[in-house]
Amino acid sequence: MGTLVDWDVAARTAKRLSPAPPSVSRSEADEAVGELYRATSRAADQVAELTQLHEPPVTAVTRVIDRPAWIDANAGGMRSILTPLVERLTAANQVGRVAESVGSRVTGAQVGAVLAFLSGKVLGQFEFFDRPGGQLLLVAPNLVAVERQLGVDPSDFRLWVCLHEVTHRVQFTAVPWLREHMLAEVRALTDTVETDPSAIKDRLGSAVGELVKVARGHGDGDGLMAALASPEQRAVLDRITALMSLVEGHAEYVMNAVSPSVIPSQDFIERRFADRRRKGGNPLDRLLRRLLGLDAKTRQYVDGSAFVRAIVERIGIDGFNAVWTSERTLPTRQEIGEPLSWIARVHA
């Protein structure tokens, strides 16, 4: 069976196009790596106290890595996610033959360009697609670059970021059904992909108009996937968006709820980081972020954090933790913006 993406080409292209790392001495690099490993241990105690979630003995590996290693990890994760979809599209039908004629190497280069762009943006990540046990990834060059750009205290900033990422690790290990639920939603999304040529043509036609709006600074900014989605896929995307708003907002809430005695310059870091998000980089960077749906991810941080904060303030952390009971207690996309509706439904 053929393939739509040459993943070796994708990884090589991404590494070639990835931006140059910040200039650091060997001793500075060693110090940053060591401090990030120590910060994950410190963060775990704070996350346990703030979330009241009981994490089992940690099996996920923590890795402080550079951009090429991040590319390898995420190329592997993308490959495992997309394999079922690739198998459908490369089956013995017209779409499969047409897609293969375009060339897996070309598609691999396109995927590589996206990975290259993202490799310079991601500070940390809890990745569980490539490794079932999960891996907490901290991209040291990006952390150093951002802390320099913002002019913040490096030690405080590194611990602040680790709080966010360790919270994700706790979410997906203390809530044992959450990982499989996320994987099931991703499978549901790929299962609804059209394989009929005429349907694909219609979808591409409507997507072009949406992408033009995005390029002009209009549109909803939900990215290429949303622009290409069918009605069935939009329903799945709504559920995934709500889930991602919850997990990202929960991590955002935790990293900003820690005591000032733990991160003395936290308020300054929050203000500087918020300014960076609002500015969004140069015009090309902003366009790419909108096309890739990264603006939507920023909204997930803001909306999800407001959702968590509103519920904790009203009914406490134990009341909020009912959200992790089952997939039926997860908030809908509408409830993310209406936390009292979630309380009424779940705590009726």
Burial 212-245 (b: 16+ CB within 10 A, else e): eebeeeebebbbbbbbbbeeebeebbebbbbbbb
Domain ranges of the chain: 1-176, 177-348
- Measured CA to CA in angstroms, residue 165 lies from 32, 64, 99, 139, 237 at distances of 17, 12, 37, 11, 23
pLDDT, one tens digit per residue, over 19-76 is 999 999 999 999 999 999 999 999 999 999 999 999 888 788 999 999 999 999 999 8
340 membership: H or E segment, kind and range? helix 339-346
> What is the dihedral sign for C-alpha 275, 276, 281, 285?
negative
One CATH from 3.50.50.60, 1.20.150.30, 3.40.50.10320, 1.10.1380.10 for 1-176: 1.20.150.30
- Measured CA to CA in angstroms, residue 7 lies from 11, 98, 226 at distances of 6, 19, 24
Sheet strands side by side (includes 124-127): 61-65, 135-139, 124-127
User: Whole-prediction pTM value?
Assistant: 0.84
pLDDT, one tens digit per residue, over 282-323 is 555 555 665 565 566 677 778 999 999 999 999 999 999 999
pLDDT, one tens digit per residue, over 241-298 is 899 999 999 999 999 999 999 999 999 999 999 887 766 555 555 556 655 655 666 7
